[in-house]
């Protein structure tokens, strides 16, 4: 059976892919990664994501402002983002969220820009892609309130690079989020998280790479790329004692559902 896998989080616009972008996308397809969502981190990369999605079948775009880039963002920028959401092949808003680990943008700016984007999600009915690092309590407080009154029908979005405990899994799942797992689950430092993964129902999971960042352990030190989603697929199947085909099928169904992509 030919695999059909979705990389729900890549950054194909980044300079790391400048020389061989086309080859990277082709390699992904050959490996079975038929669908790639390329994610914006600011207005420029969001625009580039749209361009890439229009150029390559199987590539879709998410538009958003990453918490690192929140400083200096104005309401006018959010209006521009809103215009982008109306373009074809835009399937989500993000990535957006909070990052208190690196605090590259001040916390106040992060919160303001995150809340603006959550409002935009309500206006556009697009699912959201959440980046959260060292900010769990603020994140849950904001999302619990938001999701309770959100107009979004169906899944609310994806928690990117998830690595929380089972209580956090439950909170996110109850709000209507899928949890995305990437290459980092293979790192030695993820040993205890792999025990958590065993307990997360497959119906709540999707796959991602976050490429060019966070390559699976066996590719560490190299550039990550969408084809390596297969490595995470394999590990997830091992952890759960399921076949690769079953894990591929369920995570792909989940991903296509959240992005409303018809396969």
On whether the CB atoms of residues 166 and 211 are closer than 8 A, the answer is no
Sign of CA dihedral 68, 131, 3, 259: negative
What is the dihedral angle through the alpha carbons of 144, 178, 83, 140, rounded to the nearest 10 degrees? 20
**Chain residue at closest Cβ approach to Zn ion:** 210
User: Using CB under 5 A, which residues numbered 88 to 117 contact Zn ion?
Assistant: none
Residue 27: strand, helix, or coil: helix
Closest distance to Zn ion from the beta carbon of 256 (Å): 20
Select 7 or 210, whichever has its Cβ closest to Zn ion: 210
Closest distance to Zn ion from the beta carbon of 183 (Å): 12
Select 100 or 263, whichever has its Cβ closest to Zn ion: 100
Select 3 or 129, whichever has its Cβ closest to Zn ion: 129
Select 69 or 147, whichever has its Cβ closest to Zn ion: 69
Select 210 or 225, whichever has its Cβ closest to Zn ion: 210
Closest distance to Zn ion from the beta carbon of 66 (Å): 7
User: Using CB under 5 A, which residues numbered 195 to 224 contact Zn ion?
Assistant: 210
Query: What b/e readout covers 77-103, taking b as 16+ CB neighbours within 10 angstroms?
Result: bbeebbebbebebbbbbbbbbbbbeee
Closest distance to Zn ion from the beta carbon of 196 (Å): 21
Closest distance to Zn ion from the beta carbon of 214 (Å): 9
Q: Where are the alpha helices (DSSP H) in 136-190?
A: 136-149, 166-175
* CA atoms of 244 and 68, how far apart (whole Å): 35
* CA atoms of 62 and 12, how far apart (whole Å): 11
Q: How many residues bind Zn ion (CB under 5 A)?
A: 1
Binding site for Zn ion (CB under 5 A): 210
């Amino acid at each position: 059976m030919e695999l059909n896998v979705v990389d729900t989080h890549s950054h194909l616009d980044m300079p790391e892919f400048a020389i061989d972008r086309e080859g990277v996308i082709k390699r992904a397809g050959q490996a079975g990664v038929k669908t790639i969502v390329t994610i914006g981190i600011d207005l420029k990369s969001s625009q580039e994501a749209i361009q890439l999605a229009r150029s390559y079948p199987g590539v879709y775009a998410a538009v958003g402002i990453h918490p690192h880039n929140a400083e200096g963002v104005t309401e006018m920028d959010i209006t521009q983002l809103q215009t982008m959401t109306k373009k074809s092949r835009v399937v989500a808003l993000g990535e957006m969220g909070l990052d208190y680990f690196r605090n590259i943008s001040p916390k106040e700016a992060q919160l303001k820009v995150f809340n603006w984007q959550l409002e935009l999600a309500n206006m556009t009915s697009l699912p959201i892609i959440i980046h959260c690092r060292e900010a769990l309590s603020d994140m849950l407080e904001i999302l619990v309130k938001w999701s309770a009154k959100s107009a979004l029908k169906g899944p609310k979005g994806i928690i990117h690079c998830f690595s929380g405990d089972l209580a956090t899994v439950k909170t996110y799942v109850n709000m209507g989020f899928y949890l995305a797992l990437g290459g980092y689950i293979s790192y030695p430092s993820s040993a205890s998280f792999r025990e958590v993964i065993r307990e997360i129902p497959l119906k709540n999971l999707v796959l991602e790479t976050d490429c060019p960042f966070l390559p699976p352990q066996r590719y560490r030190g190299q550039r990550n790329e969408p084809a390596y989603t297969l490595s995470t697929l394999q590990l997830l199947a091992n952890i759960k004692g399921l076949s690769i085909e079953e894990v591929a099928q369920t995570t792909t169904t989940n991903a296509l559902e959240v992005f409303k992509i018809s396969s």
